[in-house]
Amino acid sequence: RLALIFFLVLLDCAALLAAPWLIGRCIDAMGGGEGGADPSVLGVALAALVAAWVIDTLIVVVQGWLMAGASQSIVRSLRKGLFGKLQRLPVSLFDRWSHGDLMSRLANDVDNISGTIAQSTTQLLSTVLGIAGSLALMLALSPLLTLAALVTVPLVFLLTRSISRKTRVLFREQQAVLGALNGHVEETMSGIDVVKAFGREAQATGDFLELNGKLRDVGTKAQIWSGFIMPLMNVINNIGFAAVAAVGGILAVRGLVTVGIIASFLSYSRQFTRPLNELANIWNSLQTAVAGAERVFELMDQAEEPADRPEAVAIGAIGSAAAGRLPSLRGDVELDSVSFGYREDTMVIRDVSFSAPAGSVTALVGPTGAGKTTIVNLIARFYDVSSGTVRIDGRDVRDYARDGFRRSFGIVLQDSYLFSGTIRENILYGDPGAGEAAMRKAAAMANAVHFIERMPRGFDTELQEGGWPLSEGQRQLVAIARAVLADPAILILDEATSSVDTRTELHIQEAMLSLMEGRTSFIIAHRLSTIRDADRILVLDGGRIVESGSHAELMASGGLYRRMYESQL
């Protein structure tokens, strides 16, 4: 499509370049030249001139239609690539970058690129061809007049260069501030309950107004500076036009050129300077697109999750294990001298070693910040260890293909997240291929059926982003049902019952006993009464395992676990 557009641009330039020459022929045919009037030549020249203008009009229409489709296809591919990139980025990047800023890159910055592609690509092609063609024909008509026309070119170059230096910085700053503004809006909307609970509406509004004002200021400066180009270019063009007219008049008086040639040359000089104007204007709009593109490709250039090793073992193959594939994991987990830090200079866990046999239940307890969630994140390979090894079924977790490996986990987090859609769709997220009976069974095991069936449309009740109108406890139950349906080999429950009342918690614990049967399970809990039956309890403090054993053993030892347990009672 772009090749066809380029071909049409060539035809359009040819038609536009022919028009001034035909105008000169018409003037000379009417008696402006030395040979007097020539009606036959005039008729042919006029017909050709009309044809050139009609061709130009048709080409512009077709070219615009093609370019609109081509630009949207390019932007669609860019958005697809950028969103796909987001799926391949490590979790650590989303911890560091504002979600609103990421969305701004995907939406606003890509839109800026789209607008520039649609409006400026054909303009840029026709501008370059128009300048080259006009210059060649001007030289052919009169080298002396061409020198007069070229007097203004250095002025155009200096003007564009000086203004673009300023606008480039301003447009880049404008996109950065827009990203910050979107980040603030996303953060405020996500935490609107907290904003209202602490009466911070005025502060949130004030922060928004500050960012909005900064965006207005930098946007105004960018538009003012970019607006200088066209008026100043018009002044330069008029100087050039006057110079050509003056030199042309002198040459005509001396008989060196005809009036028709001067008329043609004035048109060509307009066609030469007009693209220079357009080029300056395009260059200015390109600054916005480049600022957006820099932000888009900054994200595209971020390091992805490490690629699977060439010898990585795939999990979840259909049929028997073959060709280096495993139908599923058994669930033997071992951490060997593992240390990890979200930053290289700060270790969150240090020299942690333990093993969890397949089918066992391991509980992780300890003060906030002790490293409990970090350990399960390393087991699920959301992060790779800084040192040491995490093994599952005797293999380093990095020796498994990541996709099938993560499908072997069922994870219920403290902050359950539900997507917009029906309750049915949210539960089936655990296994999209599961049938109705399996989905309902999973909901029943999570003790969620009783409230789902009381909803207006049952399992087909529509949820908004985040799970509204369900309560926190109900959202957690749906999330648990989703994990049940996934039928994982390894189950991770990170404060899974923190958002439910005591009565519901008892029902969930009963469901958990059935769910954990035959699966390796890791439970993070602050309510120590919920993990008394765990096969092994690991007590963490300061990133290290300070105690390990069953509930009875740890109570008998009289250490940190006993003090924590008794303080809760």
Per the CB < 8 A criterion, the answer to whether 332 and 393 are in contact is yes
Closest by CA to 16, choosing from 130, 128, 119, is 130
437-460 mean pLDDT: 86
Q: Say how far apart CA 216 and CA 129 lie, in whole Å.
A: 37
Q: 25-75: per-residue pLDDT in tens?
A: 777 777 644 555 567 777 787 888 888 888 888 888 887 788 777 777 888
Residue 390: per-residue pLDDT: 92
> At residue 511, does pLDDT exceed 50?
yes
Instruction: Please check the confidence at residue 532 and state whether its pLDDT lies above 60.
Output: yes
Give residue 389's pLDDT. 92
Say which residue the tokens 């000169």 belong to: 24
Q: What pLDDT shows up at residue 499? A: 58
Condensed to tens digits (0 to 9), the pLDDT of residues 125-179 reads 777 777 777 778 778 777 877 787 777 778 777 877 787 778 878 888 887 888 7
- Check pLDDT > 60 for residue 527: yes
DSSP state of 532: T
Please tell me the predicted confidence (pLDDT) of residue 31.
62
Q: In the prediction, which pLDDT does 334 show?
A: 92
Rounded Cα distance between 441 and 515, Å, is 12
- Cβ atoms of residues 430 and 410 within 8 Å: yes
CB within 8 Å of 257: residues ≥ 6 apart:
141, 142, 145, 248, 251, 265
Q: Is residue 323 predicted with pLDDT exceeding 50? A: no
pTM of the model: 0.64
- Name the average pLDDT for the chain: 80
Q: Which burial class, exposed, middle or buried, applies to 457 when counting CB atoms under 10 A from its CB (0-12, 13-18, 19+)?
A: exposed
- Between 230 and 490, the more confident residue is 490
Res. 319: pLDDT tops 50: no
Distances in Å between the Cα of 539 and the Cα atoms of 33, 162, 333, 355, 528 are 103, 65, 17, 14, 11
- Cβ pair 4, 123 in contact under 8 A: no
Give the pLDDT score at 275.
67
Q: What is the 3-state secondary structure (H, E, C) of 455-481?
A: CCCHHHCEECCCCCCCCHHHHHHHHHH
Instruction: Check pLDDT > 70 for residue 320.
Output: no
Burial of 352 (0-12, 13-18, 19+ CB in 10 A): buried
Strands (E) located in 281-322 = 314-315
pLDDT tens-digit readout, 70-89: 777 888 888 888 888 888 88
Residue 279 in this model has a pLDDT that exceeds 70:
no
Distance in angstroms (rounded) separating the CA atoms of residues 471 and 475? 6
Residue 346: pLDDT above 60? Answer: yes
Can you give the three-state secondary structure of 57-115, one letter per residue? Answer: HHHHHHHHHHHHHHHHHHHHHHHHHHHHHHHHCCHHHHHHCCHHHHHHHHHHHHHHHHH
Mean pLDDT over 460-483 rounds to: 82
Reference 135, options 23, 273, 251; nearest CA is: 273
* Rounded Cα distance, 543 and 353, in Å: 12
Quick one: pLDDT band at residue 507, thresholds 50, 70, 90? low
More confident residue, 144 or 221: 221
Cα 492 to chain centroid, rounded: 30
Average pLDDT over residues 316-323: 42
Proportion of the chain in helix, strand, coil states, percent, rounded to 5: 65, 10, 25
The pLDDT of residue 508: 66
Is residue 550 pLDDT above 70, yes or no?
yes
**How much is the average pLDDT of 204-217?**
89
- Structure-token pair, residue 259: 């009036």
